[in-house]
Chain A
Amino acid sequence: MLEIIGRAARESLESFGAAGKLTAEAVRSARDVRTWWPNLTLQARQLGVDSLPIGTLIALFTGVVLALLASYSFTGAVPRYLVGTLVQKTVMMELAPVLTGLALAGRVGANIAAELGTMRVTEQIDALETLSYDPVAYLVVPRVIAGVMMFPVVVGVAMFVGLGAGWAASLGLLDLSSTEFLKGARLFFDLFDVRYGLVKAASFGFAVSLLGCVNGLRARGGAQGVGSAATHAVVQSAIMILVLDAFWAVVWLLGRTP
C-alpha cells in the first residue's frame, strides 16, 4: 500500500517536473518560428475549431439547466429577474470556462497525448531528431500556442451560447419575460466577468496542451503506453483545471469588490 502511494507521488512529481522542463524547452524553442508556424493553424483548427461543437453543446445544456435551477431556487421574496443574473455570472465566470476546459481536457489532452505517444512509440520523434528537427519546436510549441489561443475562443462561444440558452429557457420554459431576464443579466454585469473567464480559459488551454504533450512524449511500450499516456493526460489536465480555477479565484476574486 505504502509502495503504491509512494509510486503515485513520485510519478506525479515526475510529471510536474517533466512539465516544467518541457515548458522551459518550449519557451526556448519558440524562437524557432519557422519550425512551428506552419503547424500552428492546423493545431488551432484541431484544438479549437473542431472543439466548438462540444463546447457549444455543453454551454447549451448548461444555460438551460442553470435557468431552471435558478427559477427553482428563487422563490418567495427573491425577484425572478435574478435568474438572469445567476445565469450571466455563473456561465461567464465559472461554468463556461471550467466545463468547456474539462471537456477539452478529455478531447484535446487525450488527442495530443495519443498522437505524440504514438509518434514516440513508433520512433517518429526519434526520426525527427535524427533529421535535426527540434521535436519540441515542431510538435509542442504549436500545440501549446494553439491551446492558449483557441481555448478562449471556444470558451467565448460557450459563454455566448450558454447565456443565450438561459435566456431562451427563461422565455420558453419559465414565466419570465425577456425584459426581466435582461434586467437581471445586466444588473451586475461587469466587463471583468468576461476578462476573468477568458484569462482562465487561456490558462486552461496552456495546461491541457502542455500536459498532453508531456504525457505523449513520455509514452513508453506500445499501444498500452499510449493509452496510459492519454489517460494520464486527461486526469492531470482535469486536476490542473480545477487547481487553476481555484488559483485564479484566490488571486483575482479574493478581496475584490464589484
Chain B
Amino acid sequence: MKTRSNDWLVGLTIVITMGLIVAATLFLQQSELGRKRDTATARFRDVGSLQVGNAVVIRGVSAGRVTQIALAPKGWVVVAMELDRATTLPVDPVVLLQASSLFGEWQAMITSRAAVPVNRDVVAQVEDALDAPTGALPGAVLPDIAQLTTVAGGIAGNVASVAERVRTAFNDTAALELRTSIRNFSVLSGDLARAVRAQSRNLDSLALTARVGLADVAASSAALRRTMQRVDTATSTGALEEILAESRVASRNLRLATERFETLSQALAASEANLRGAIGKADTVLGRIERGEGSIGLLVNDPRLYRNADSLLVELRTLVVDVRRDPKRYFSVRVF
C-alpha cells in the first residue's frame, strides 16, 4: 500500500512538472496551439542579428514571427516566417531586417518595394534578391546601430586626425604667416573691389548696348515674323504655285528665244562670211578699177572715154529721136 502511494505521488509529481515545463515553454515561445498560420519565406545575403522567434511586422503591427533561418546555395540565407492567417501582404512585398531597439532585438518588416528606404546598399540587396524562386520574397538588411556607430567612429577618428594635424601645423610661424596672408588678402580684396566697380560700370555700358542690340534683334525678329507670315500666307493661297508655273513658262520661252538667237547668230555668221567675200571681191574690182584695168577702169581713169561715151549717148539720143520721127528711114518691113 505504501509502495503504491509512493508510485502515485511520484508519477503525479513528474507529470505535473512536465506539464508545467511544457506549458511555460510554449507560453514563452508564444506558441499558439491550434491557431492556423500562413508561412512565407524570404531570402537574403545576410540576416544580421536576426534570430528564430523575432517578430514579423507589417506597418508597425506584429503579424507573425521568424520560425527558421537556414543557409541556402549560392550564398543565400533563407528565412521562414509564420504569419497570422488574416494577414494581407503589401503589394510587391519586400522583407527588410532591422534592429527594433538599441539592445540587439531585430525584426523582419514586410513592406512594399516602393517603401524601401532610399539607400544604395539596401536597394542593391533588394534588386539582387529579386530573382528569388517562386514564393520567396526578396529581402535586405538595413544598417543597424552598430554599423552606424562604426561609421561614426571612423568619422570621429578622421576628424580627430585632422584636428591633430591642424594643431601641429598651426604654430607661431603659421600664425604670423596667416596674419600676413590675411593682410595681403585685405589688400587683394580692396583691389578686387575696385576692379569689380570698374567692371561693373563696363558691364552697365555693355548691358545698355546689349539692350539696344536686343531691341534691334527683337524688331528684326518681328519683321522676320511678318515676312514669314506673308510667306506662309502666300504659300497657303497658291500664289507661289502660280508664280512657279509662270516662271516655268517664261523659262521655256527664254529657252526658245535663246535657240532662235543661236540660229540667227549662225545665219549672221554665214552672211558675214558672204559679206566678207563680197567685200573682198568688190575690193578687188575697185582695185582693178582704180588701176584702170578693165572697161570700167578705163572709163573711170580715161576722160576721153567718158567724153566719147557722152558724145555717143548724145548721138544715140539724136538717133532715137530721129528714128521716132521717121522710122521708115531706118526700118523696112516687107511681106514676101
Q: Which residue of A41, A189, A194 contacts B3 across the interface (Cβ within 8 Å)? A: A41
A153-B17 in contact (CB<8A): yes
- Residue pair B13, A52 in contact (C-beta under 8 Å): yes
Shortest beta-carbon distance from B50 to chain A in Å: 11
Q: Of B3, B102, B105, which is within 8 A of A42 by CB?
A: B3
Cα distance A159–B25 when bound, in Å? 11
CB under 8 Å from chain B, chain A span 146-186: 149-150, 153, 156-157, 159-160, 163, 185-186
Name the contact of A157 in the complex, choosing from B9, B10, B20, B101 (C-beta under 8 A). B20
Please state if B20 and A49 are interface contacts (CB–CB under 8 Å): no
Contact check, B3 vs A190: say whether CB atoms are below 8 A apart: no
Is A4 interfacial (CB 8 A cutoff)? no
Q: Could you tell me if B7 and A41 are in contact, using CB atoms closer than 8 angstroms?
A: yes
B102 contacts A45, C-beta separation under 8 Å: no
Asked if B10 and A159 sit within 8 Å, CB to CB, the answer is: no
Q: Give the number of chain B interface residues (Cβ < 8 Å).
A: 23
| C-alpha spacing A148/B251, complex, angstroms | 127
Contacts of B102 in A (CB 8 A): 77
Which residues does chain A contribute within 8 Å of B10, judged by CB atoms?
Answer: 41, 44-45, 48-49, 150
* B-chain residues with CB within 8 Å of residue A255 when the two chains form the complex: none
A45-B6, A48-B10 as given contacts; A190 in contact with B53, CB under 8 Å? yes
A74 to B29, CA, bound (A): 24
The answer to whether A156 touches B28, judged by C-beta atoms less than 8 angstroms apart, is no
- Contact, CB under 8 Å: A79 / B17: no
Interface SS of chain B: helix
* Chain B residues in 8 Å Cβ range of A153: 13-14, 17
Give which listed residue, A44, A49, A88, A189, contacts B53 with CB less than 8 A.
A189
State whether the Cβ of A38 lies closer than 8 Å to any Cβ in chain B: yes
Which B37-95 residues have C-beta < 8 A from chain A? 51, 53
Residue among A156, A185, A189, A258 making CB contact with B17, cutoff 8 Å: A156
A41-B6 in contact (CB<8A): yes
Q: B residues within 8 A CB of A38?
A: 3
Partner of B51, one of A49, A159, A194, A258: A258
Find residues 1-41 in chain B having any chain A CB closer than 8 Å to their own CB. 2-3, 6-7, 9-10, 13-14, 17-18, 20-21, 24-25, 28-30
Instruction: Give the interface residue-count category, chain A.
Output: 20 to 34
List residues 77-102 of chain A with CB under 8 A from any CB of chain B. Answer: 77-79, 82, 88
How far, in Å, is A3 (CB) from chain B's closest CB? 47
Q: A160 and B20 in contact (CB under 8 A), knowing A48-B10, A52-B13, A194-B25? A: yes
A49 interface neighbour in B13, B25, B28, Cβ under 8 Å: B13
Smallest CB–CB gap between B288 and chain A, Å? Answer: 145
Contact residues of A between 177 and 208, Cβ < 8 Å to B = 185-187, 189-191, 194, 198
Please measure, in the bound complex, the distance between the C-alpha atom of A45 and the C-alpha atom of B5, giving whole angstroms.
10
Q: How far is the CA of A258 from the CA of B25 in the complex (A)?
A: 16
CB contact list, A9-67 vs B, under 8 A: 38, 41-42, 44-45, 48-49, 52
Q: Tell me whether A189 and B13 are in contact (CB under 8 A).
A: no
How would you classify the secondary structure of chain A's contact residues: helix, strand, loop or mixed? helix
A42 to chain B, nearest CB (A): 5
Could you tell me if A160 and B6 are in contact, using CB atoms closer than 8 angstroms?
Answer: no
Given A153-B14, A156-B20, A157-B17: A82 in contact with B51 (beta carbons within 8 A): no
Let me know if B331 is at the binding interface, CB within 8 A.
Answer: no
Chain B residues contacting A187 (CB-CB under 8 Å) are 105
Asked whether, in the complex, the Cβ of A160 is within 8 Å of the Cβ of B24, the reply is yes
Return chain B residues, CB-CB under 8 Å to A48: 10, 13
Chain A residues positioned under 8 Å from B29 (CB to CB): 186, 189, 191
Give chain A residues whose Cβ lies under 8 Å from the Cβ of B6: 41-42, 44-45
Q: Which of A38, A78, A82, A189 gathers the greatest number of chain B CB atoms within 10 Å? A: A189
Residue of B nearest to A157 (CB): B17
Which residue, B6, B20, B28, B105, has most C-beta atoms of chain A within 10 A? B28
In the assembled complex, 21 residue pairs joining A and B whose CB atoms fall closer than 8 Å, in A order, are A41-B3, A44-B6, A44-B10, A49-B9, A49-B13, A77-B102, A78-B103, A79-B101, A82-B103, A149-B14, A153-B13, A153-B17, A156-B21, A157-B20, A185-B28, A186-B29, A189-B29, A191-B25, A191-B29, A194-B21, A258-B51
Q: Which 8 residue pairs of A and B lie closest in terms of their CB atoms, listed nearest first?
A: A41-B6, A189-B28, A44-B10, A153-B17, A156-B21, A41-B7, A156-B17, A45-B6
Given contacts A52-B13, A150-B10, A194-B25, 17 further A-B contacts (CB under 8 A): A41-B7, A44-B10, A48-B10, A77-B102, A79-B103, A150-B13, A153-B14, A156-B17, A156-B18, A156-B21, A159-B21, A186-B28, A186-B30, A189-B28, A190-B53, A198-B21, A258-B51
